[in-house]
């Protein structure tokens, strides 16, 4: 029998999936930005994935010094801090 | 990666199709007892029919005053970690899928990780849904003791994990983008540090299972008149022990909040600066205590079958701050300079940050530099 917290976690995932599916249902409405309005969207300031290698290094570093990394994508570390 | 900063590496891989690009990068991390030098090279290549591939190789050179940094054991050593990663992606008109593999090896830790991701744009390409999931199979090596998980014929203990993430990104206006991420990872196996010894207690003991969860919100806004953009992120993390506890208290319960702000400003046609400030607040898990200053405080040592205990600073009441400045220089002005014109198509970057920690690790200098060039 899963614990209460495990069930809560599963429900959060289910609700998040439902919310995303619901958002997809908005696709019939006019999009908030038209193709000719995308001039600035490629700028670093509006991208969350502009520095993937830097993100990888930061994740490894935070995973070694803080406890809230998710524990994947940063194997080992030399300091035994798995 | 995760779609969030903490998980960012995995999910970001799904966000966009690669271009033909080679990147070399170096990072230098220095705190009072530990120094890390990490060179890395990555290459990406587009292929026909919407396919693309990428590969990376990095070396971590870690010099530390102790095999278990933060403990009272003082022993200078240098450790080398090699990591290689391969990925393949396939893009359709509005959908992208990737499959990635990574292998990491050092003298006392080996890890295989594989994950897949998929993303799809809709609503006039203003919304993107991304999912990813994968697993890792790690081995923790032992040279100084024999924990119960170590078999008589082996010299390591397993640490396995499965992880998944969900991200939704929405373009709100021509100058505003928002994103929400949900990430979880379940780990089971040897979760402790194989070297850490608690004073008057012995080796630290971690629970053998952990379910880690994080949700993060991101928002970005750009002001064209100022050539300036702003990003803000909030991330909340909490973990717990998955499964029945038989009425015993959950040994986990580590919580953390991360706030991060970034300002991007274009100084000239070729030069952009990024200012970053991050704050991190962490509450320790139930089984943590500062044994070094309060012997006998192990809260779970007397609660069989949960004889857990650690004073690892990384899972204690951590608070960190990180201000950083970074410069991006698009090297087009080198196009008229002999020899150096070969680098004119690329972008140089350099950053310096100061990592303030309130625990035994002490404050750190962080220097990163890199160069990316399309080919």
CA distance B192 to B201: 15
Please state the pTM of the whole predicted model: 0.88
CA distance to partner chain A, nearest, from residue B366 (Å) = 10
Residues of A in contact with B10 (CB under 8 A): 72-73
Q: What's B243's DSSP letter?
A: S
Q: What's the pLDDT score for residue B19? A: 77
β-strand partners of B257? B236, B281
Q: Which of residues 44-63 of A touch B (CB under 8 A)?
A: 44-49, 52-62
Between B38, B212, B250, which is nearest A71 by CB? B212
Q: What's B285's DSSP letter?
A: P
What is residue B51's three-state secondary structure? strand
Q: What is the arithmetic mean of pLDDT over B93-118?
A: 93
Q: What is the arithmetic mean of pLDDT over A36-54?
A: 92
Compute CA distances A36 → B122, B124, B170, B225, whole Å: 17, 12, 17, 18
Higher pLDDT, B238 or B208: B238
Q: What's the pLDDT score for residue B204? A: 82
Q: Which of B9-13, B52-56, B335-339 has the lowest mean pLDDT?
A: B9-13
Q: Which of A26-30, A49-53, B338-342 has the lowest mean pLDDT?
A: A26-30
Q: What's the pLDDT score for residue B196? A: 81
Residues of B in contact with A56 (CB under 8 A): 1, 9
CA distance to partner chain A, nearest, from residue B370 (Å) = 9
Q: What's the pLDDT score for residue B250? A: 86
Tally of residues, chain B: 375
The interface pTM score, or ipTM, of the predicted complex is 0.86
Tally of residues, chain A: 82
Residue of A53, A59, A64 best to disrupt the B interface, most CBs of B under 10 A: A53
Question: Hey, are the CB atoms on A46 and B177 less than 8 Å from each other?
Answer: yes
Q: What's the pLDDT score for residue B193? A: 84
Residues of B in contact with A18 (CB under 8 A): none
Closest CA in chain B for residue A15: B182
Q: What's the pLDDT score for residue B7? A: 38
Closest CA in chain A for residue B369: A54
Q: What is the arithmetic mean of pLDDT over B84-103?
A: 96
Q: pLDDT digit string (tens) for B32-53?
A: 989 999 999 999 999 999 999 9
Which tokens in the block code for residue B336? 């008229």
Closest CA in chain A for residue B161: A72
CA distance B33 to B64: 6
CA distance A59 to A53: 10
CA distance to partner chain B, nearest, from residue A70 (Å) = 6
Query: Is A27 a residue whose pLDDT tops 90?
Result: no
Give chain B's mean pLDDT.
87
> Do B209 and B220 touch, CB atoms closer than 8 A?
no
What domains are there in chain B, each with its CATH number? 2-374 (2.40.160.40)
What are the contacts of A2-8 at 24+ separation with CB within 8 A?
Answer: A2/B242, A2/B243, A3/B240, A3/B241, A3/B242, A3/B243, A3/B244, A3/B245, A5/B211, A5/B240, A5/B242, A5/B250, A6/B211, A6/B240, A6/B242, A6/B243
In chain A, what is the straight-line distance between the N-terminal and C-terminal CA atoms, in Å?
Answer: 29
Question: Hey, are the CB atoms on B254 and A68 less than 8 Å from each other?
Answer: yes
What is residue B69's three-state secondary structure? coil
Q: What is the arithmetic mean of pLDDT over A52-73?
A: 83
Q: What's the pLDDT score for residue A29? A: 78
Which tokens in the block code for residue B87? 């990925």
> Do B43 and B55 touch, CB atoms closer than 8 A?
yes
Please report, rounded to a whole number, the percentage of residues in chain B having pLDDT higher than 90.
62
Q: pLDDT digit string (tens) for B183-213?
A: 999 999 988 888 887 776 678 888 889 999 9
Higher pLDDT, B330 or B313: B330
Instruction: Work out the number of other CB atoms within 10 angstroms of the CB of residue B372.
Output: 20
- Burial class from Cβ neighbours inside 10 Å (0-12, 13-18, 19+) for residue B218 reads buried
Residues of B in contact with A82 (CB under 8 A): 109, 138, 140, 159, 190-191, 193
Question: Hey, are the CB atoms on B244 and A68 less than 8 Å from each other?
Answer: no
Q: What is the arithmetic mean of pLDDT over A44-56?
A: 92
Which segments within chain B are labelled E, that is strand?
A: 21-31, 34-46, 51-64, 77-91, 95-106, 109-122, 127-141, 156-173, 176-189, 197-198, 202-203, 209-223, 228-240, 255-266, 271-283, 319-330, 347-357, 364-374
Question: Hey, are the CB atoms on B40 and A53 less than 8 Å from each other?
Answer: yes
Higher pLDDT, B133 or A75: B133
CA distance B234 to B219: 9
Which tokens in the block code for residue B155? 């010299």
Instruction: Work out the number of other CB atoms within 10 angstroms of the CB of residue B19.
Output: 12
CA distance to partner chain B, nearest, from residue A73 (Å) = 7
CA distance to partner chain A, nearest, from residue B294 (Å) = 21
């Amino acid at each position: 029998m899963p614990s209460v917290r495990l069930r809560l976690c599963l429900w959060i995932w289910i609700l998040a999936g439902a919310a995303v599916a619901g958002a997809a249902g908005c696709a019939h409405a006019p999009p908030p930005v038209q193709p000719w309005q995308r001039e600035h969207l490629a700028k670093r300031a509006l991208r969350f994935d502009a520095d993937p290698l830097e993100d990888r290094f930061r994740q490894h570093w935070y995973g070694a010094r803080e406890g809230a990394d998710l524990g994947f994508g940063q194997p080992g570390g030399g300091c035994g801090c798995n | 990666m995760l779609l969030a900063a903490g998980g960012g590496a995995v999910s970001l891989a799904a966000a966009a199709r690669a271009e033909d690009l080679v990147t070399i990068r170096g990072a230098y991390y220095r705190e009072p007892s530990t120094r890390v030098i990490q060179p890395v090279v990555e290459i990406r290549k587009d292929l026909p029919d919407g396919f693309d591939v990428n590969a990376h190789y990095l070396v971590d050179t870690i010099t530390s005053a102790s095999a278990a940094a933060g403990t009272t054991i003082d022993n200078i050593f240098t450790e080398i970690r090699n990591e290689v990663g391969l990925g393949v992606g396939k893009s359709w008109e509005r959908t992208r899928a990737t499959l990635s593999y990574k292998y990491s090896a050092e003298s006392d830790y080996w890890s295989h990780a594989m994950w897949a991701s998929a993303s799809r744009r809709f609503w006039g390409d203003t919304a993107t849904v991304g999912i990813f999931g994968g697993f890792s199979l790690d081995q923790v090596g032992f040279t100084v003791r024999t924990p119960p998980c170590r078999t008589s014929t082996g010299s390591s203990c397993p640490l396995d994990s499965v992880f998944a993430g969900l991200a939704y990104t929405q373009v709100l206006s021509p100058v505003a983008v928002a994103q929400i991420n949900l990430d979880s990872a379940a780990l089971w196996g040897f979760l402790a540090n194989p070297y850490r010894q608690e004073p008057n207690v012995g080796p630290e003991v971690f629970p053998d299972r952990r379910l880690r969860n994080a949700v993060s919100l991101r928002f970005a806004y750009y002001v064209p008149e100022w050539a300036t953009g702003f990003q803000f992120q909030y991330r909340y993390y909490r973990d717990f022990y998955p499964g029945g506890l038989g009425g015993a208290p959950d040994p986990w319960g580590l919580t953390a909040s991360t706030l991060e702000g970034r300002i991007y400003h274009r100084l000239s046609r070729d030069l952009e600066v990024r200012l970053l400030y991050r704050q991190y607040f962490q509450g320790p898990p139930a089984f943590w205590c500062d044994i070094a200053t309060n012997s006998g405080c192990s809260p779970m040592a007397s609660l069989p079958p949960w004889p857990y205990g650690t004073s690892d600073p990384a899972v204690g009441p951590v608070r960190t701050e990180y201000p950083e400045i970074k410069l991006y220089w698009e090297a087009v002005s080198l196009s008229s300079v002999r020899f150096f014109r070969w680098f004119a198509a690329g972008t140089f970057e350099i950053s310096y940050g100061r990592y303030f920690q309130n625990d035994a690790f002490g404050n750190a200098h962080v220097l990163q530099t890199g160069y990316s060039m399309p080919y």
